[in-house]
């Protein structure tokens, strides 16, 4: 009779699998950025714009945790590459919106197209109930990571406020 894993064993394996997945995702994202000739901040910004739609530079800076100077340089780089464009807000013509261009799909398709296709095939193997559980887990995980990211940024700010200590830069 096969050994039935204990709850502690299952939890430990799940945590290890999640850690491995995070490393593998990070390595894939690095390779994808290199392939398309961008840096990770650029690809993160494109992903944010792709998921959320057009936004102001300030909104993008907040979402990507960038300074106003850094987001201006980022948008300039991506605009020069033809991946984003600045447009006037249709409601408030004073506001400038940043949006991705069709070139993003053209550039990213060779990298992400096969991943999306295989991902949809894989998720198709699961029941609706299984997918609902996955969604609950991913939602919880994102909230968890966002909370702890904010906590670590607070730690960084407190550390950097202390005179005479290294800032880690």
pLDDT tens digits, 148-162: 999 999 999 999 998
Residue 1 counted as domain residue: no
Residue 61 counted as domain residue: yes
If asked whether residues 143 and 98 sit together in one domain, one would say no
If asked whether residues 54 and 117 sit together in one domain, one would say yes
Question: So what's the pLDDT on residue 44?
Answer: 96
If asked whether residues 87 and 33 sit together in one domain, one would say yes
Q: Tell me if 50 sits within 8 A of 104, measured CB to CB.
A: yes
If asked whether residues 96 and 145 sit together in one domain, one would say no
If asked whether residues 110 and 153 sit together in one domain, one would say no
- What average pLDDT score do residues 32-40 get? 96
Residue 110 counted as domain residue: yes
- What average pLDDT score do residues 25-34 get? 97
Structural domains counted in the chain: 2
Domain hosting residue 94, numbered range = 7-125
Secondary structure of residue 59 in the 3-state scheme:
helix
Residue 11 counted as domain residue: yes
If asked whether residues 29 and 98 sit together in one domain, one would say yes
CATH assignment at residue 16: 1.10.10.10
If asked whether residues 108 and 84 sit together in one domain, one would say yes
Q: What is the b/e burial string over 51-90, where b = at least 16 CB atoms within 10 angstroms of the residue's CB?
A: eeebbebebbbebbebeeeebeebbebbeebebbeeeeee
Q: Can you list the alpha helix ranges (DSSP code H) found in the chain?
A: 7-36, 40-52, 57-64, 68-80, 102-123, 128-161
Cα 114 versus chain centre, distance: 19
Residue 17 counted as domain residue: yes
Confidence band for 2, pLDDT divided at 50, 70 and 90: confident
Question: So what's the pLDDT on residue 27?
Answer: 97
From residue 136, give the alpha-carbon distance in Å to each of 39, 131, 161: 31, 9, 38
Question: So what's the pLDDT on residue 1?
Answer: 76
- What average pLDDT score do residues 102-107 get? 97
**pLDDT over threshold 90, residue 163:** no
Question: So what's the pLDDT on residue 90?
Answer: 86
If asked whether residues 100 and 70 sit together in one domain, one would say yes
Task: Say how far apart CA 108 and CA 138 lie, in whole Å.
Answer: 24
If asked whether residues 131 and 103 sit together in one domain, one would say no
Question: So what's the pLDDT on residue 124?
Answer: 97
Residue 169 counted as domain residue: no
**pLDDT over threshold 90, residue 18:** yes
If asked whether residues 109 and 28 sit together in one domain, one would say yes
Stated pTM of the model: 0.85
Residue 88 counted as domain residue: yes
The pLDDT tens digits for 62-88 are 999 999 999 999 999 999 999 999 999
**pLDDT over threshold 80, residue 165:** no
């Amino acid at each position: 009779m096969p050994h039935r894993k204990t709850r502690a064993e299952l939890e430990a394996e799940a945590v290890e699998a999640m850690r491995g997945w995070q490393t593998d995702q990070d390595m894939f994202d690095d390779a994808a950025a290199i392939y398309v000739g961008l840096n990770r901040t650029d690809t993160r910004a494109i992903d944010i714009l792709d998921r959320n739609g057009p936004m102001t530079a300030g909104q993008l800076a907040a979402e990507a945790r960038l300074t106003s100077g850094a987001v201006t340089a980022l948008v300039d780089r991506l605009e020069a590459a033809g991946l984003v464009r600045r447009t006037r807000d249709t409601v408030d013509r004073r506001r400038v919106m940043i949006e991705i261009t069709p070139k993003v799909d053209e550039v990213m398709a060779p990298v992400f197209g096969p991943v999306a296709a295989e991902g949809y095939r894989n998720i198709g193997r699961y029941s609706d109930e299984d997918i609902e559980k996955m969604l609950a887990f991913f939602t919880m995980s994102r909230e968890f990571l966002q909370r702890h990211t904010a906590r670590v940024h607070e730690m960084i700010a407190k550390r950097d406020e202390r005179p005479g200590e290294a800032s880690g830069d």
